[in-house]
Amino acid sequence: MVFSSVLFLSVFLPCFLACFYLSPQFLKKWIIVFFSILFYAWGAPVFIFFLLGSSVLDFFISKNFEASNPYRKWALFASLFLNIGLLCYFKYVNFFVHNISTLGEYFSFNEIAFKEVLLPIGISFFTFQKISYAIDVFRGENKRLTSFLDYLLYIIMFPQLIAGPIVRYKDVHLQIKNFSSNNFDQKLQGLYRFIIGLSKKVFIANTFALIVSQINALGLENTSSAEAWLGALAYTFQIYFDFAGYSDMAIGLGLMIGFKFPENFNFPYLSKSISEFWKRWHITLGSWMRDYLYIPLGGNKVSTKRIYFNLVFVFFISGFWHGANWNFIVWGLFHGLFLVLERLFLSAALKKMPVIFQRFYTFFIVIIGWVFFSMDLETAFVFLKKMFAFSSFDLGLSISVKSWSLMLFGILFSFIGFNKKIELFLNELPFRIANLNTSQTLVIFPVFLFLLSMATIWIMNSGFNPFIYYRF
């Protein structure tokens, strides 16, 4: 089940909100946890037991994190070993076995007999949340949750369970302890934010996704340079509006039930460097990697060579986190390489250039990176060869005026925040709308309900609604 499905919009969400809002305060946490279990079990019924079981173990291990406990370091090690071990097993064992088998074939060894391990949906996200909880409590930055219900609420809350944002313990620990859902303005903000995110996903991301699908269907041998560039650009905007849309929906759902989740995107394609890009793209992942990996490795307080190594290593891990395949590793290393180059000389050189050139450079590098991200390594290199062959500019695709219009709107929206004032205004827009007076609300509310209805009808009629986060 995903947020942009008819089942979620027409059955799950109305039922959840009705039960949540009509229930007394002492039952609301139970309602969230129950529906979160149902949400996860709907798509992965077997793995709900894995998620619940590992959460029980983690909760009891965390009881040993007190400063007075002589075994607290061993408890932290056990928690990290449990969570990282499970992540490695479910997500990466197939990758390692396949690569060992391939290497074995090269040296004429017998193939390894192995049954494929199924990947629990969302394991990357809830594993990072578990690690965040363990480290924050161990460090004494935030107090341990004494109620298992509260702990499970943090781990399994369905708005951010499958596709993020990555909600660190410090982001919500006070909200969990002092839980309240009585703020009407916050609920309204949440509804508007959810509809904005759904619109991004359904109207814009899916339109770009259809173009990507059509170009992939042509086959590499029949793809012209123009079609290859169009495919790369279409995927660049598809993944942005898809992921940003899901983040908006998650943040909106959180607000509707009394939780404020961190922002995850901030006009990333306006970035003037790869370094800035990672401050604007998947912000919660970047901050997680910085605080729990880069800084513990020494951050910027080590030798210059070690800083470069740390940057490359962090982005190697970031790439591998996105998926168990070589193309994700190359994608991560590709970004890590440019971060190092920017520290060496590129950043100084770029600052001497016009802003438009800085943004063009960053956007170009990001596009090339998405080619590696979106397909296997061998195909990616062939696709890049097609892009830069400039041998044919034929565009044989039939694209409707509606699709061109929606894509143009998406592109313009991606770059509309070029002015700081505009960027700030758009980021604050959902909150501004929620605080309108009564007469203004009577005008704007039907508009959002219309968008919600149109998005639902669009999903029902199109039958094309890809979900790209199953590997996470």
Burial class (CB in 10 A: 0-12, 13-18, 19+), 354: exposed
Burial class (CB in 10 A: 0-12, 13-18, 19+), 4: buried
Contacts of 432 (CB under 8 A, 6+ apart): none
> What tokens appear for 424 in the block?
């700030």
Decide: 150 and 156 in contact? Cβ < 8 Å: no
| Residues in the chain, pLDDT under 70 | 105-113, 418-419, 423, 430-431, 434-442, 470-472
Number of other residues whose CB lies within 10 A of the CB of residue 241: 26
Block residue for tokens 């390489």: 337
Block residue for tokens 């962090």: 314
Residue 249: the pLDDT is 93
Decide: 83 and 127 in contact? Cβ < 8 Å: yes
Query: What one-character DSSP code corresponds to residue 146?
Result: -
Cα gap 168→187, rounded to integer Å: 22
Decide: 410 and 237 in contact? Cβ < 8 Å: yes
Residue 435: the pLDDT is 67
Decide: 101 and 112 in contact? Cβ < 8 Å: yes
Domain ranges of the chain: 6-179, 185-462
Cα gap 426→408, rounded to integer Å: 18
Residue 157: the pLDDT is 92
Block residue for tokens 């690690």: 131
Decide: 268 and 275 in contact? Cβ < 8 Å: no
Residue 464: the pLDDT is 77
Is-catalytic flag, 322?
yes
Buried b (16+ CB within 10 A) or exposed e, 412-447: ebbeebeeeeeeeeeeeebeebbeeeeeeeeeeeee
Choosing from 173, 282, 322, 335, which is the catalytic residue? 322
Burial class (CB in 10 A: 0-12, 13-18, 19+), 110: exposed
